[in-house]
Structure 1
């Protein structure tokens, strides 16, 4: 089941990145709840870490495949860009909140994904992920259903270190 979800995630990452001619992603290594991956794209090598939620609420709702990832694309000067990916369309003009140790980071939405609203806060979110234990992600579906996801941050630091030298 986990492998199927990761395969779906890899396909979603490629589709979201708009990479038509990318090669199949390669799993570099798994670090507890976080896996490190890479693939070649037109703009060069892309590396990212990815995890799936350990809990999804509300129960009884089809959440689809839900992921949180942090990517870097050295060829495009993108370093450690957090992204939430839902298995459903998000409500237009809504916000996704990421909460770590009482600190909230706000993400803007487009389609089924969300990115940090203020790009200057991306390093702070990544630092909070490295130093935190758990992360909560709160979103609203296009139908108006409030959803919440709990992620373990166990392994995030090692996974990010693994892709540190992505070139």
Structure 2
């Protein structure tokens, strides 16, 4: 299955994610691998975080600005950090559960974002992503209705590797 639109479909998502102060920064496409893209933002972030590289995908039912990403910020010594933008605002106390194949992870979440609780969980999630065919993030929206954002994982491992290589020499 090839992602419809390839780089053209993922590029607006990548631009919207990394817009700072209303002005988009330059990005390098590292490739599109099935439903996943890999990008590098070579310019230092205003917060001093330095360059960053990430693999990113939109949910299967992409009717929102939801996404899944695995990023690296080499100058901050962060590699393989998992991040989800939920497709709906989350109910304040609702748990956010990630199912990857037969593995289940509880995420830490804000109103519309969710992350692994620590670097060890990031590594476990990425390892699970490499061997599964899909993953879903489940929670309840602000009205109390359950929902799930589902992602196909074909191409995820290659995109994650491409993003890691894109920032491998940056320190």
Normalising by the smaller structure, the TM-score range is 0.7 to 0.9
**1:141 Cα shift?**
1.4
Q: 1:7 aligns with which of 12, 19, 24?
A: 12
Q: Among residues 40, 45, 61, which one is paired with 2:51 in the alignment?
A: 45
Matches within 5 A, 1:1-167: 3=8, 6-11=11-16, 13-14=17-18, 19-20=20-21, 23-39=25-41, 40=43, 41=45, 42-55=48-61, 64-165=64-165, 166=167, 167=170
Query: Judging changes above 3 Å, is the alpha-carbon distance between structure 1 residues 8 and 162 closer, same or farther for their aligned structure 2 residues?
Result: closer
Judging changes above 3 Å, is the alpha-carbon distance between structure 1 residues 111 and 24 closer, same or farther for their aligned structure 2 residues?
farther
Whole-angstrom CA distance in 2 between matches of 1:36 and 1:149: 20
In the alignment, structure 2 segments of 5+ residues that lack a partner are none
C-alpha distance in structure 2 between counterparts of 1:31 and 1:149, whole Å = 20
Give the CA deviation at 1:148. Answer: 1.1
Greater share of residues in strand: 1
> What SS class does the counterpart of residue 44 from structure 1 fall into?
coil
The TM-score normalised by the length of structure 1 is 0.82
Describe the SS at the equivalent of 1:164: helix
Tell me how large the CA RMSD over aligned residues is: 2.3
Alpha-carbon offset, residue 100 of structure 1? 1.5
Q: State the TM-score, normalizing by the size of structure 2.
A: 0.80
Q: Secondary structure at the match of 1:159?
A: helix
In 2, distance between residues paired with 1:87 and 1:149? Answer: 7
